Amino acid sequence: QSALTQPASVSGSPGQSITVSCTGTSRDDGGYTYVSWYQQHPGKAPKLIIYDVSKRPSGVSDRFSGSKSGNTASLTISGLQTEDEAVYHCSSYTSRSSVWVFGGGTKLTVL
Amino acid sequence: EVQLVESGGGLVQPGRSVRLSCAASGFTLNDYAMHWVRQAPGKGLEWVSSISWNSGNIDYADSVKGRFTISRDNANNALYLQMNSLRAEDTAFYHCARDRRWLQSGACDNWGQGTLVTVSS
């Protein structure tokens, strides 16, 4: 159950765009892999912002988008706002092995 | 309003047991898979265990397999985690989380605030 690999930190200025990568989201067991992204502010519970690689739950800003290429999933945040400053966790759930793994989390600083 | 409220945490000695509960309200529990996810203070998220809507599919992380048992009582809107043979490395906030689907997919759209389990002598 190897963890996914994310950068420890990223930063950007208000209005800019940033991308957070997440490596290790492909499995060789033939099952379907669900990729999700969570936002977590200090002292708060995680919040789902992307699921099924690129879908947004109702109420999540369209400034958040997800994609996947090969073994790497990516979260892009456009038009950075100060309230986007948080830790972002990627995760993947593989249906065949029934294992859910998380990345180590990426701290986003909005300068 | 969907709410998940965990309870049962506290200080426990290594090797002892504790049972966590998660009270669900504002939705029909038996429409969703449920998960336990833990987070050691200052660390990342770690999946612990998952259970499908009817308890037919149950999964555990290798780190807790054989020691922890997940269960649910749909009639009483509750999720549980029985934790045995506790170790210092089990110290963490334990969150229950609701999956978007009735089978596990790791897309959890509602989380509880967590209950802290501290394993120490």
Residues 6+ apart with CB under 8 A from B23: B3, B4, B5, B7, B77, B78
Instruction: Compute the average pLDDT of residues B20-40.
Output: 96
Structure confidence by residue, pLDDT tens digits, B52-97: 999 999 999 999 999 999 999 999 999 999 999 999 999 999 999 9
Phi-psi domain of B18 (left: phi exceeds 0; alpha: psi -120 through 50; beta: other) = beta
Residue A56 pLDDT: 98
Nearest Cα residue in chain A from B95:
A45
The answer to whether residues B118 and B10 touch, using CB atoms and an 8 Å cutoff, is yes
Would you state the structure tokens that stand for residue B49, as one six-digit string?
A: 């265990």
A60 lies within 8 A of chain B by CB: no
Q: Do A92 and B106 touch (CB under 8 A)?
A: yes
**Angstrom distance (rounded) from CA A58 to CA A90:** 19
Residue A80 pLDDT: 98
At A1, is the pLDDT very low, low, confident or very high (cuts 50, 70, 90)? low
Q: Do B44 and A89 touch (CB under 8 A)?
A: yes
Structure confidence by residue, pLDDT tens digits, A16-59: 999 999 998 876 666 788 999 999 999 999 999 999 999 999 99
In chain A, residues with a C-beta closer than 8 Å to the C-beta of B2 are none
Residue A33 pLDDT: 86
Q: Do A102 and B44 touch (CB under 8 A)?
A: yes
A57 lies within 8 A of chain B by CB: yes
Q: How far is A67 from chain B (nearest CA, A)?
A: 15
The answer to whether residues B19 and B117 touch, using CB atoms and an 8 Å cutoff, is no
Instruction: Compute the average pLDDT of residues A76-105.
Output: 94
The answer to whether residues A77 and A18 touch, using CB atoms and an 8 Å cutoff, is yes
The answer to whether residues A100 and B45 touch, using CB atoms and an 8 Å cutoff, is no
Given a cut of 90, is residue B48 above it in pLDDT? Answer: yes
In chain B, residues with a C-beta closer than 8 Å to the C-beta of A3 are 44
The answer to whether residues A2 and A100 touch, using CB atoms and an 8 Å cutoff, is no
Instruction: Compute the average pLDDT of residues A60-79.
Output: 96
At A94, is the pLDDT very low, low, confident or very high (cuts 50, 70, 90)? confident
Structure confidence by residue, pLDDT tens digits, A28-39: 666 788 999 999
Would you state the structure tokens that stand for residue B47, as one six-digit string?
A: 């999946």
Q: Select from A25, A48, A90 the residue whose CB has the most chain B CBs within 10 Å, as the one to mutate to test that interface.
A: A48
The answer to whether residues B101 and B110 touch, using CB atoms and an 8 Å cutoff, is no
